[in-house]
Amino acid sequence: TAVVIDGKLMADEIRSVIADEVSRMKSAIGKVPRLAVILVGERKDSQTYVRNKIKACQEVGIMSVMTELPEDCAESEVLNAVSSFNENPAVHGILVQLPLPQHMDEEKILNVVSLEKDVDGFHPLNIGNLAMTGREPLFIPCTPKACIELLLRSNVEIMGKKAVVIGRSNIVGLPTSLLLQRHHATVSVVHAFTKNPEEITREADIVVSAAGVANLVRGNWLKPGAIVIDVGTNPVKDPDSEYGYSLTGDVCYEEAVKVASAITPVPGGVGPMTIAMLLSNTLDSAKRAYRFT
């Protein structure tokens, strides 16, 4: 059976290094990194994500500031919130929690986030630089970076391997496929229009699934010995849980664990590592702003 990749444990190790770096920065120059979060509307899942990110900041000594706006606010209010954080030199990272309400132009809003503070890595120039050989993005999106970090910390060689990414969203699938290519994998992308996704997936040494479909990837989709990174966090009804639902991955875990050589659990895999990458991006940004090495 597969080795379980303990994302929580690996993330804790990274967070402890970040905490040390933050305190080193504070004693050396009297400054700490600061993350600004903009939350629009009352989506429960978004509120939970934001709360977790802010708590994680606190635990490593990163300051945070949050702007909450009502669901029906004008787009200009969000743009103003972004602009004021852009201009504030004590803010090093700006995160606009997605999804935004329907009536807002997400592209327009993400475009105004200062490149130097784009700790989510969603600015088109950061994505563009990620896509181009020889260029360096200032920030790499947190979830894709988390997937690679989990592979590297599990001593998985990426170079020359066949990787399949399931999903091609701007925030997960697409940048993950770009990042795997930067690490010299041969990458195929499977999406909702792909015919015979199981055949393509079965060729892969490394499978990253970010489709948002519970139990999509069955055991017979996997090549024996494959490494499986499950990004999916899909709510499924669970009467035993406090909230009436629990989270499950894209991968049918009970089947996959018998075929794969390593696999991330949900929860406890990609999720905690994603938050660690956000903290890491925010620390890097503050270091860059203060020229602190």
Going by C-alpha positions, the residue among 166, 189, 183 that lies closest to residue 130 is 183
Within 196-215, which residues bind ligand NAD (CB under 6 A)? 197, 210-213
The reply to whether 232 sits near ligand NAD by the rule CB under 6 A is yes
- Residue 158's contacts (CB-CB under 8 Å, 6 or more residues apart) are 148, 151, 152, 180, 183, 184, 185, 206
Burial of 19 (0-12, 13-18, 19+ CB in 10 A): middle
Smaller CB distance to ligand NAD: residue 62 or 231? 231
Catalytic residue among 53, 117, 145, 223: 53
Residues 171, 144: Cα–Cα separation, whole Å: 8
> Amino acid letter at 176?
T
The reply to whether 137 sits near ligand NAD by the rule CB under 6 A is no
**Minimum distance from residue 232 beta carbon to ligand NAD (Å):** 4
The reply to whether 229 sits near ligand NAD by the rule CB under 6 A is no
Angle at 9 between CA 14 and CA 149, to 5 degrees: 55
Smaller CB distance to ligand NAD: residue 70 or 244? 244
Residues 146, 138: Cα–Cα separation, whole Å: 16
Active-site annotation holds for 162: no
Q: For strand 262-263 and strand 227-230, is the pairing parallel, antiparallel, or unpaired?
A: parallel
Quick one: which of 25, 226, 256, 270 contacts ligand NAD (CB under 6 A)? 270
Element (H, E) at 66: strand 63-69
Within 156-175, which residues bind ligand NAD (CB under 6 A)? 166-169, 171-173
Quick one: which of 41, 137, 265, 271 contacts ligand NAD (CB under 6 A)? 271
**Binding piece for ligand NAD, criterion CB under 6 A, among 13-21, 84-92, 270-278, 285-293:** 270-278
Please provide residue 16's backbone torsions phi and psi, each rounded to the nearest 5 degrees: -70, -40
Catalytic residue among 120, 205, 230, 284: 120
The reply to whether 43 sits near ligand NAD by the rule CB under 6 A is no
Residues 258, 182: Cα–Cα separation, whole Å: 30
Active-site annotation holds for 97: yes
Smaller CB distance to ligand NAD: residue 165 or 262? 165
Active-site annotation holds for 53: yes
Catalytic positions, written as ranges: 53, 97, 120
Which residues would be at the binding site for ligand NAD (CB under 6 A)?
143, 166-169, 171-173, 190-192, 194, 197, 210-213, 216, 231-234, 270-271, 274
